[in-house]
Amino acid sequence: MKKSSAVIIGVGPEQGLGAALAKFFAGKGLHVFIAGRSEGKLQAVAEKIRQTGGTATPVVTDATVGQEVAQLFNLTQREGFSVDIAVYNVDSNIPSPLLETDVQTFTTLWQQNCLGAFLFGKEAINVMQPQQAGTLFFTGATASLRARPPFTAFAAAKAGLRALAQGMAREFSPQGIHVVHTIIDGVIDGDRAREQFPDYVKTKGNGGLLQLEAIAQTYWAIHQQPLSAWTHELDLRPFKEPF
């Protein structure tokens, strides 16, 4: 019998969603394959997981390069693991008013937020099909549903990600593969927000930010849903967040 694992791409700082998911899944007994472009950050997260008794394999991977994504999933199979959970957590955003958005910026955002999701999702499905089981998460954003300047290009990519997730859910749910699109509708309390816009974080006050552990708990709960009552799309926001 194969050992259980989770594959998470888009793992960056220790106080980030990718790392939080990896730590949580490792705490539930899954071996975690953590992927991203920064070897240093991956090694730091892997070490934290090992210190708490979990197991992790860091794999430097560019989500937009098909060969690298394929190698990531090939590694899980060579090492004898089933892939119980796969998470596409890449979230690249560049604020740019439309008339100032060049083709390269638009293309880069689409590649990182949508094309990479296609490459990752396809490889995950190929591994999960023989198992007839597995949960595939795509992490979305407020922009998945609403395009607002100066983030129109980002929203176009996130809307594409949402459409990809819908199509995959309809195609592969009957095969036992649970495809989930999560809309993160708020600011995550992590290193990224606190470093890039600390003043805004302060204005959110107590309880105004999404907590990493809370998001990870929700992902796990969705993964555990019985076959007769699956959630495809859900939105997560702090209780104080207007919507």
pLDDT in tens, 44-91: 999 999 999 999 999 999 999 999 999 999 999 999 999 999 999 998
Percent of the chain clearing pLDDT 90 (strictly above): 88
Taking each helix axis from N to C end, the angle separating 212-223 and 17-27, rounded to the nearest 10 degrees, works out to 50
pTM of the model: 0.96
Whole-number average pLDDT of the chain:
96
Sorted by where each starts, the structural domains of the chain and their CATH numbers stand as: 3-236 (3.40.50.720)
Paired with 216 in beta bridges are none
The residue to which tokens 């998911």 are assigned: 21
User: For residue 99, what are the contacts with CB-CB under 8 A and spacing of at least 6?
Assistant: none
CA distances in angstroms from 90 to 19, 112, 139, 180, 225, listed in the order given: 12, 7, 8, 15, 24
pLDDT digits (tens, 9 = 90+) for 229-239: 999 999 999 99
How confident is the model at residue 197, as a pLDDT? 81
pLDDT value for 147: 96
Helix, strand, coil % in the chain, rounded to nearest 5: 50, 20, 30
pLDDT at 215: 98
| pLDDT class of 143 with cuts at 50, 70, 90 | very high
Instruction: List all residues 6 or more positions away from 45 whose beta carbon is below 8 Å from its beta carbon.
Output: 11, 14, 18, 19, 22, 23, 34, 56, 58
pLDDT score recorded for residue 85: 98
Q: With beta carbons less than 8 A apart as the criterion, state whether 116 and 63 touch.
A: yes
What's the rounded Cα separation, in Å, for the pair 64 and 78? Answer: 22
